[in-house]
Amino acid sequence: MRPIAEIAYDLAWTPDKMGVRLYAPEPVADADHWGCTFEIDEPLALRQTIYGICSLQAPVLALQSLSASLYGSNTYRNGELGLGGIFGGDLSIPAMITFSIKLPIRFEDSSFAPSFAVAEQDQRRRPANPNLPLST
């Protein structure tokens, strides 16, 4: 595996950095899907493979999971994880809507969401019954 993206985050209590790597998606043997792995160094110490139906979906889902792992961590919430000496702010990875109340960038507001997807999403209405599909 080779990383396709990596970054080193600042930790408030040490000059050491916390490395994060996203690896290129790879086909899963004997299956019709792809896996994309990401790693987060100590103190979070996480390595996870996320699966998608194609080589495009797998890294998008992996980046979303990576984002949730970073912004949802106690290290971030305690203001101990940062970038460029600024702690508890933007980590240069768009945050999922769940975390967007406190964060400056969301997936929905970023270049990760094509304009047609945002326009389509704006035209949908939520049904009264949450078990029913979205209507247009």
Q: For the chain, give every domain's residue range.
A: 3-89
- Side chain identity at residue 22, one-letter code: L
Q: What's the distance, CA 35 to chain centroid? A: 15
Residues 6+ apart with CB under 8 A from 96: 64, 67, 68, 71, 106, 107
CA dist., res. 129 & res. 43, Å (int): 42
Beta carbons of 81 and 91 less than 8 angstroms apart: yes
pLDDT in tens, 94-133: 876 655 555 554 445 444 443 333 333 333 444 454 444 5
- Prediction pTM value: 0.70
Model confidence at 2, pLDDT cuts 50, 70, 90, reads confident
